[in-house]
Amino acid sequence: MSFLQFANDTLFFCEESWSNVVVMKSILMGFELASGLKINFHKSRLAGVNVQSNNLLCYSKFLNCNQTRTPSKYLRLEVGGNPRKNLFWEPILNKLKTRLSVWKGRFLSMAGRTCVIKSVFNAIPLFYLSVFKAPESIYKSIISIQRRFLWGWGKENIPISWVSWEVLCKLKEEGGLELKDIRKFNFALLAKWRWRFMSQDKGKWKEVLESKYGVELACPHVPVKYQSWWWRDLVKVCREGGGEGWFLMEIT
């Protein structure tokens, strides 16, 4: 049995067995006796991966807690979903459409709409893009929402884009508006995990990855079919551009 702690949450991980469930409850009750605090089992959740529903129901009744099913959300991040499907990204797209609706830019200047795009884009999809690689269709959808808001001028019909989006993402010195390229931004956020993997000495997350995939991120000893989607996307992102990849070229 292992555990992770984040903020005021504690996550226990164990293999499915009655003995592990009994040990888990004993640990929590022992914590109550030692600290004088009380565990709120009604706020606790029990989730199972490849566990039969009947067994999960018995475990939850024994622990006096509720069940949670995957995919579920933790810290507003969907856990257990498939980030390669468009349905996974629908909540992000809906939030962007709400914040960047055309009518909200009716009384804003070009500079004002640019500031709104930057602030909204830096806030809403940042958490998702830091963990998951978005499909190409999601990149296009996000750019379409931003472009419509920027050039819409409050009109409901399809606006005319007078400048290509690639130019708008350039620096102001180069004639752009310094808007973020969603694809490159996503790649940079994901590559940060590899940078942390190489630079950080300790960490539970690093121990888990090393135990499963080995020390070398580029040459895992686990066959591709047994690798997680997150790991595959991470390796693929760092190799984009052919050859050894842009990531290794930047750090050497």
Kindly list the domain boundaries of the chain, sorted by start residue: 2-69, 77-180, 191-251
Q: Which residues contact 242 (CB under 8 A, 6 or more apart)?
A: none
The larger pLDDT score, comparing residue 223 to residue 118, is at 118
Q: What is the pLDDT of residues 102-121, one digit of tens each?
A: 777 778 888 888 898 888 87
Judge whether residue 231 has pLDDT over 80.
yes
pLDDT single digits (tens) 22-37: 998 998 899 999 999 8
Give the pLDDT confidence score for residue 136 in this predicted structure: 92
- The 3-state DSSP class for residue 4 equals strand
pLDDT classification of 2: cutoffs 50, 70, 90: confident
Amino acid at 42: H
Question: pLDDT band for position 250 (50/70/90)?
Answer: low
Render pLDDT for 134-163 as a digit per residue (tens, 0 to 9).
999 999 999 988 888 888 766 666 677 788
Q: Is 71 helix (H, G, I), strand (E, B) or coil?
A: coil
pLDDT of residue 33: 92
What is the CA 213 to chain-centroid distance, rounded? 20
What is the pTM assigned to this prediction? Answer: 0.75
Q: Say if residues 1 and 11 touch (Cβ distance below 8 Å).
A: no
Q: Is the peptide bond before 83 cis (omega within 30 degrees of 0)?
A: no
Contact 65, 24 (CB under 8 A): no
The tokens for 33 are 């006796």
Structure tokens at 111: 């500079």
